[in-house]
Amino acid sequence: MTIMKKRLSLLAAFFILLTGPSLLQAKSPEPLSLRILNHHDHDKIHGNTIRLVLMPSPSPDHHHPIHLHAYVNGRMATMITINSPKKVITLHHLPKGKDVISFVQANPMTHKEMDNDMAGMDMSDEDMGDMGGGNQKTKGKNVDKSALQTLTVLVQ
């Protein structure tokens, strides 16, 4: 019996030595990107509501969802979690004129936003906006540097 245990131990050690370096050099996860399928930059929108079809890549699922914060003119409009290949969202109360819609990835547990360097940004209540779009003042918060996708629309 002890010879069998020694052989299994030797086999396990050999396997670890053989596969160890390849595990250490494993490919890092693909960076997240986001496409808006049904609108393009500078589209004209009639009315104050827009419906957007989002397609993240790599595709999320129930085990690996993606959490996003959506901004309109620098003010948070909504938070969404995507766990399927496509997600449809509707933004209401868009002000007339030129509106910039941005999507920023965030940690679903802490709501800290992740920029290109994956560093979190604190999202306190005063930075959250009014969530409904009633107050259109901006605080000058620049979300473009960390945005996965930005879309400019002309609301008429």
Strand residues in 21-110 grouped as ranges (E)? 33-36, 43-45, 50-57, 66-72, 75-82, 87-91, 97-106
**What's the rounded mean pLDDT across residues 25-41?**
83
The Cα–Cα gap between 67 and 56 comes to 11
> Which residues have CB under 8 Å from 130's CB, separation 6+?
75
Report the percentage of the chain scoring pLDDT > 90: 55
As its CATH architecture, domain 33-114+144-155 has Sandwich (2.60)
**What's the rounded mean pLDDT across residues 82-111?**
95
Better-predicted residue by pLDDT, 69 or 115: 69
Task: Give the gyration radius of the chain's Cα atoms.
Answer: 22
102 three-state secondary structure: strand
**What's the rounded mean pLDDT across residues 52-79?**
96
**What's the rounded mean pLDDT across residues 125-138?**
39
Handedness of CA 34, 38, 44, 49 (dihedral sign): negative
92 three-state secondary structure: coil
Distance set, CA 143 to CA 94, 109, 129, 156 (Å): 18, 20, 13, 24
Q: What is the residue extent of each domain of the chain? A: 33-114+144-155
The average confidence (pLDDT) of the chain is 78
Among 110, 69, 85, 94, which residue's Cα sits nearest to residue 152? 94
pLDDT band of 54, cuts 50, 70, 90:
very high
**Does the pLDDT at position 86 exceed 80?**
yes
Distance set, CA 36 to CA 39, 72, 85, 134, 148 (Å): 6, 15, 12, 25, 11
**What's the rounded mean pLDDT across residues 69-89?**
96
Q: pLDDT digits over 108-128, tens only?
A: 888 899 864 433 333 334 344
> Which residues have CB under 8 Å from 85's CB, separation 6+?
55, 56, 59, 60
pTM: 0.67
